[in-house]
């Protein structure tokens, strides 16, 4: 039996894809189709936002041409697959001529003619206009947003607004943004969606105004500092038929999502303990982060990150929370939190004036997961067991500043009318806000 293998993204499956699959099928007796993972296209410079890998697998399956479908996860997998499945022919489109000649060492390589006049790129351009995004706020994180947005399909940063007009003008000039708005209302008039990157205390009002105007909102974390306010904002978004998403970059990173999926699958057994820490010795020049009048302090500034793995894995049904903080000039420069669950306990450490290890450890009944510092920029983690021969290490690429992943998911939610992302569900976002609110209200709070 002659086996043929081919690979592709198969985003927006079209007649050109089908013709190529049919030509590959006709080369032999058994066709294996490799569908690229959602994150594999990062190597091609753009992040797609249309069909996820499961949808693309189903589309290929529906053609009836594939005898076997596999997922392509990593560079170099083609050689592994060819040997694993004893492949005779590797087939790929003619636009890749010469690119895969190195595979001739393992099987015969054939470049197949493409169907003229049709491609996924052409279909994308015909089916969807760019989402025009405006930026509210011109701080450090906003500066990173513009180059990160350029890595995602269907995104166009069109306008910027800041209460300091000179800062907004300089921001636009440096980053090539076409329009500087003299009011927040003018910004909303110019765009389809807004990225809120202003100080914490302004998030609620800016989100509320934008949602009421029918604009999609991507808001920096923490969304707000009050659980009821967060709940009201998500309800308003649903009522208006628009997307509200909290911009927690860790929640959308490929490695962190893979880590959570594997733990939920039972690899380390039942989770009974999570310990996460994060700290930054920023110094006094960062006045907002250390200003009590601007909701400064470790918990408000950093809390949503260590709360993320706790809420994702343990849920929202905690029974008790205790906070222990070192206070200086009205803000917590260090906070330790202990969260009790019916079948486990979790803790986190945060510091703006105290340095911690900065790792993440998730303990289970069969083993534990270890993510080294800085775990919130996850690109590597380990699963460790009593028998060290069973230990597993996973490496991922963290691209740029990492905002491109949350932008990709935001745009995908808009296109596919998904009110809540599985990466950070609305109830999880609300639960994290409620915990921060407990701290703000000094409930179960001890000064150290």
| Helical packing angle, 203-212 and 227-240, nearest 10° | 20
**pLDDT value of residue 396:** 81
Which pair of structure tokens corresponds to residue 64? 């009836």
To the nearest 10°, the Cα dihedral for 96, 100, 104, 106? Answer: -130
* Interatomic CA distance for residues 201 and 221, integer angstroms: 11
For residue 178, count other CB atoms closer than 10 A to its CB: 12
Which pair of structure tokens corresponds to residue 285? 């020049």
**pLDDT value of residue 119:** 55
- Which candidate, 127, 193, 158, places its Cα nearest to that of 414? 193
**pLDDT value of residue 43:** 53
- Which candidate, 115, 121, 165, 153, places its Cα nearest to that of 11? 121
Which pair of structure tokens corresponds to residue 215? 């604009």
Which pair of structure tokens corresponds to residue 257? 């999502």
SS3 content of the chain, % helix, strand, coil (to 5): 40, 25, 35
Beta-carbon contacts of residue 252 (< 8 Å; ≥ 6 apart): 405, 406, 408, 409, 421, 423, 424
* Interatomic CA distance for residues 46 and 411, integer angstroms: 13
Mean pLDDT by 10 residues, the chain (448 residues): 93 84 95 83 56 81 95 85 96 92 95 72 59 95 94 92 96 96 97 97 98 98 97 98 97 91 94 96 71 91 97 96 95 96 97 92 98 92 96 86 92 88 94 97 95
**pLDDT value of residue 292:** 87
Q: Yes or no: say if 28 and 88 are a contact pair by the CB < 8 Å rule.
A: yes
**pLDDT value of residue 254:** 86
* Interatomic CA distance for residues 92 and 417, integer angstroms: 34
Domains of the chain: 3-123 (3.40.50.620), 127-250 (3.40.50.720), 255-447 (3.30.360.10)
């Amino acid at each position: 039996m002659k086996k043929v293998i081919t690979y592709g993204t198969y985003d927006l499956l079209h007649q050109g894809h089908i013709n190529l699959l049919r030509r590959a099928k006709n080369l032999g007796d058994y066709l294996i189709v490799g569908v690229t993972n959602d994150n594999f296209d990062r190597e091609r410079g753009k992040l797609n936002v249309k069909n996820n890998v499961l949808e693309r697998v189903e589309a290929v399956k529906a053609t009836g041409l594939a005898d076997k479908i596999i997922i392509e996860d990593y560079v170099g997998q083609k050689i592994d697959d060819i040997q694993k499945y004893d492949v005779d022919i590797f087939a790929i489109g003619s636009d890749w001529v010469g690119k895969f000649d190195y595979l001739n060492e393992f099987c015969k390589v054939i470049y197949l003619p493409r169907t003229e006049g049709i491609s996924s790129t052409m279909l994308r351009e015909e089916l969807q206009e760019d989402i025009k995004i405006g930026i509210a706020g011109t701080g450090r994180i906003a500066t990173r947003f513009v180059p990160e947005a350029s890595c995602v399909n269907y995104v166009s940063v069109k306008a910027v607004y800041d209460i300091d007009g000179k800062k907004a003008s300089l921001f636009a000039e440096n980053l090539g943004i076409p329009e500087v708005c003299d009011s927040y209302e003018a910004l909303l008039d110019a765009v389809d969606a807004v990225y809120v990157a202003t100080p914490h205390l302004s998030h609620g009002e800016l989100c509320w105004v934008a949602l009421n105007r029918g604009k999609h909102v991507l808001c920096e974390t923490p969304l707000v500092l009050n659980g009821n306010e967060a709940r009201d904002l998500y309800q308003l978004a649903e009522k208006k038929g628009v997307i509200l998403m909290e911009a927690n970059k860790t929640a959308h990173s490929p490695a962190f999502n893979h880590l959570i999926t594997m733990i939920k699958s039972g690899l380390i057994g039942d989770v009974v303990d999570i310990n996460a820490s994060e700290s930054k010795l920023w110094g006094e020049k960062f006045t907002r982060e250390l200003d009590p009048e601007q909701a400064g302090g470790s918990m408000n500034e950093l809390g949503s990150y260590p709360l993320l793995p706790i809420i994702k894995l343990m849920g929202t049904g905690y029974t008790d929370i205790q906070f222990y903080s070192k206070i200086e000039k009205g803000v917590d420069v260090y906070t330790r939190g202990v969260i009790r669950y019916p079948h486990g306990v979790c803790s986190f450490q945060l510091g703006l004036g105290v340095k911690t290890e900065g790792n993440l450890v998730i303990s289970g009944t069969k083993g534990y997961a270890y993510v080294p510092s800085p775990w919130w920029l996850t690109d590597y983690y380990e699963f460790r067991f009593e028998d060290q021969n069973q230990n597993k290490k996973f490496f991922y690429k963290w691209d740029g500043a990492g905002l491109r992943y949350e932008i990709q998911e935001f745009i995908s939610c808009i296109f596919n009318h998904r009110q809540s992302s599985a990466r950070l569900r609305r109830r999880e976002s609300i639960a994290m806000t409620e915990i921060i609110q407990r701290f703000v209200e000094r409930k179960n709070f001890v000064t150290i």
